[in-house]
Amino acid sequence: MDMPDACPVCRQTYEPEPGFYYGAMYISSGFSTGLLLAIGFLLFYLADDPPLWVYIVSVAGAVLAVAPLLFRYSRAVMLYGFGGARFDPRYAAH
């Protein structure tokens, strides 16, 4: 969960203001909802609608397994979408 204060290559600040990443919780929730829907549809159509506990265990296991990715990608989306960060190809080679 620790992050450096700024990018070591381009010096982009990772936290533009205090509490900036509270909005990332909503983005992470959206990612989790998308994962829930995808697993739900796959189980319904490919596993012939298994019992409820299979849905619960599958979704909970998948969300827990990808929680670190959800955490980082939701923060990245928040930073690029609302923090003013932009991709600069000059720094892509580093």
Mean pLDDT computed over every residue of the chain:
86
- Confidence (pLDDT) at 84: 74
Q: How many CA atoms lie within 13 A of 49 on its CB side?
A: 0
pLDDT tens for the chain, 94 residues long, are 667 777 777 777 777 788 888 888 999 999 999 999 999 999 999 999 999 999 999 999 999 999 999 988 998 898 888 877 777 777 666 5
- Confidence (pLDDT) at 4: 75
Domain ranges of the chain: 62-86
In this structure, the dihedral spanned by the alpha carbons of residues 44, 41, 72 and 24, taken in order and rounded to 10 degrees, is -120
- Confidence (pLDDT) at 6: 79
Token pair 């070591």: residue? 8
Q: Do 67 and 1 touch, CB atoms closer than 8 A?
A: no
- Confidence (pLDDT) at 93: 60
